[in-house]
Structure 1
Amino acid sequence: MSEVSPEPRQLRALVALTDEGTFTDAAIRLGVTQSAVSRLIAALEAAVGVPLVERTTRSVALTDAGRRTYRAAVLALTALDDVTHAARGTSRPLRLGYSWAALGSYTSPVLREWRSRHPDVPLEVHRVDERSAGLTRGVADVAVVRGDLPDSTWASRLVVREPRLAALARTHELASRPGVTLADLRHDTLVTTAYGTTTVELWPADARPSSTLWVDNLDEWLTEIAGGLGIGVTAAATAGQHAHPGVVFVPLDGVAPIPVRLAWPAAHPHPAVERFVDLVSEVVAGQASATTSNRSV
């Protein structure tokens, strides 16, 4: 086993290759040549003593050791950034990831409150279309995660439970109803994504949608539904953040709400994560209290 320690530039090459999927795209991201990325990966493999990447003429895939090393590399590079900022007396930006609709109606109040209270810690918001909303790839320090957590290594806090809505084409026969049920939608095609909160398993086994149409992202999801190619089921936040002229959002009755959590790495979290999670909880509680007060007036 080699006793040579991996170098940061080698770790960055592995992370870039994993995230981008090809040596060419990794080279573009890093601003180096493709051959330089290849040499960095080979040097990293030599340093750790095991193969990390399976290379074919058409694709690049990580070995089991490569996947473990990728996760460790993401944490190590983040820690190096923290060391640099600590030495300079500055704060690394806090990166908030989400994969669909962020925090819904709470998003803008949270961003404004954070900027007002913590001007020394910049907050960046990134949409990352995957279940962990950027945590696994190391591009988010804290993420909005709906449904079950994709990884047990994350710490989390439940911040709210969102009602589910049916997303229907404006021309759909049920679009004008005040509410619909799963049974009403069982003859439609379900439009969904691999990282979303809805699959046909939401329906009873004997009354599921006739087929499933898989899309890659939110824009495709809205376009397919607006075009009448199927229906969707989503969290209430979607209606507020992603209104579409061809899509109507109708309350879905008789289904459990979706838990919305903030999740972050349990090991070596960003120094500002706890403050951010507390602020989100405060904003959510404040809006809920205001809503209750308005209803009682």
Structure 2
Amino acid sequence: MEPSITGLRVLREVAERGSFTAAAAELGYTQSAVSRQVAALERAAGLKLFERRTGGVALTAAGQTLLRHAVVALDAVAAAERELSGLPPDRGVLRLGTFPSASALILPRALAALRRTHPGIRVTTREASTPALVRALRARAIDLAILSSRPPHHPLDDQIPPLERVTLIDTVLLLAVPAATALGAGGVVDIQSLVDQDWIASPSSAGEPGMGVWPGLPGRPRIAHTVRDWLTKLQLVAAGCGVTTVPVGMAGAVPAGVRLVEVEGPVEHRRVVLASLPGPHPPAVAQIVRILRREAARQAEEADLAGPASSRQGALRTPPRT
């Protein structure tokens, strides 16, 4: 095989973005140029590297093998470019991905603690949906990912080997409603009363459902506002523009004019997990894993001391340390 550096970059970008179109937009190429690069790689390898799925593409087993080696080659090229440019080696950088509400829940406290105890470790973060972060882990574009999981907590993807994951917090889903409305008058609402409500949800795409609409809501939800940022969602609720779902751990970030209520019926459990590729972790990764687990445990303890944010007992829990 004699793959080009450009071809390997395209391979990594398509693997991370999950589509030729998204990879082309990120690289500044046309979609046809990306397709040609992938076709050239497949001819050189003599094997199919991607398979088409609903809403995008995924690596085949051969594609995963080539990607694993491509990342090593691309990192070496990047290191050579830095050295030739007279820049210092990019050491001690940990790349962390998070889903939106984790940025407000755990991340700031953990990063503050890391700066106090290990100032030599630099962390960069990126926010995305859980499926996008799983792809970024596989493409080795990030080192760790804080992800959301819902029962029955299936594997994060179908690739081999499975990603390692550590539970940070077990929590439940609540509904954020304007306090000065009938919905905000009590602590519990009936799901039928939500059918005609305006909803505030994050954008959705194939394979990446938007967050914000109560699971199992009868009929088709009327989404009035599409917003990624959780704090903006809550401000829209405070302004009376609609309702949205939030994990109970967001109670401390709820602005005036918003009330968190339960929805009658089965409790909607959610789990915050820390995922990584299998194998031994560098010291920097091991440190941030330890700190994230510690800060998650502290947050749960503080929530217990302050009293439950809803009448459901044990709404915010961390697993025992192992």
Amino acid at match of 2:176: A
Percent of aligned pairs with the same amino acid:
22
Q: Distance in 1 between matches of 2:229 and 2:113?
A: 29
Residue 142 of structure 2 corresponds to 140
1:1-44 per-position Cα deviation (integer Å, ceiling 9, x unaligned) = xxx15454322112334527437525427xxx888656543431
Pair 1:284–1:211, CA change in 2 (3 A): same
Q: SS state of the match for residue 11, structure 2?
A: helix
Structure 1 residue 250 displacement after superposition: 0.9
Pair 1:260–1:51, CA change in 2 (3 A): closer
Q: Equivalent residues in 2 for 1:144-163 (5 A)?
A: 144-147=146-149, 148=153, 149-151=155-157, 153-163=162-172
Structure 1 residue 123 displacement after superposition: 0.7
Q: Does 1:232 align with 2:231?
A: no
8 Å contact kept, 1:96–1:125: yes
8 Å contact kept, 1:187–1:210: no
TM-score, length-scaled by structure 2: 0.64
Amino acid at match of 1:158: T
Structure 1 residue 171 displacement after superposition: 5.8
8 Å contact kept, 1:166–1:180: no
Pair 1:216–1:133, CA change in 2 (3 A): farther
Q: SS state of the match for residue 135, structure 2?
A: coil
Q: Distance in 1 between matches of 2:184 and 2:172?
A: 18
Q: SS state of the match for residue 28, structure 2?
A: helix
1:92-116 per-position Cα deviation (integer Å, ceiling 9, x unaligned) = 5212212221154432210111122
Pair 1:168–1:51, CA change in 2 (3 A): same
Pair 1:249–1:12, CA change in 2 (3 A): farther
Amino acid at match of 2:290: D
1:184-216 per-position Cα deviation (integer Å, ceiling 9, x unaligned) = 54564666554457776x44xxxx433235686
Residue 210 of structure 1 corresponds to 219
Q: Distance in 1 between matches of 2:5 and 2:281?
A: 19
Amino acid at match of 1:212: P
8 Å contact kept, 1:97–1:135: no
Q: Distance in 1 between matches of 2:143 and 2:110?
A: 16
Structure 1 residue 222 displacement after superposition: 2.7
Pair 1:7–1:293, CA change in 2 (3 A): same
Q: SS state of the match for residue 101, structure 1?
A: helix
Residue 275 of structure 1 corresponds to 287
TM-score, length-scaled by structure 1: 0.69
8 Å contact kept, 2:5–2:74: no
Q: Distance in 2 between matches of 1:253 and 1:186?
A: 12
Gaps of 5+ in 2: 308-322
Gaps of 5+ in 1: none
8 Å contact kept, 1:179–1:250: no
Q: Distance in 2 between matches of 1:133 and 1:270?
A: 23
8 Å contact kept, 1:135–1:141: no
1:259-288 per-position Cα deviation (integer Å, ceiling 9, x unaligned) = 111111125756533322211111222344
Structure 1 residue 81 displacement after superposition: 6.5
8 Å contact kept, 1:146–1:197: no
Residue 168 of structure 1 corresponds to 177
Q: SS state of the match for residue 210, structure 1?
A: coil
Amino acid at match of 2:146: V
8 Å contact kept, 2:92–2:284: no
Q: SS state of the match for residue 94, structure 1?
A: strand
1:211-270 per-position Cα deviation (integer Å, ceiling 9, x unaligned) = 2356865259939974867533221344555x578x724132662542111111125756
Pair 1:237–1:213, CA change in 2 (3 A): farther
Q: Equivalent residues in 2 for 1:22-171 (5 A)?
A: 22=21, 24-28=24-28, 37=34, 40-52=37-49, 62=57, 66-68=59-61, 71-72=64-65, 74-80=67-73, 91=91, 93-102=93-102, 104-128=104-128, 130-137=129-136, 138=139, 139-147=141-149, 148=153, 149-151=155-157, 153-169=162-178
8 Å contact kept, 2:51–2:60: no
Number of residue equivalences: 274
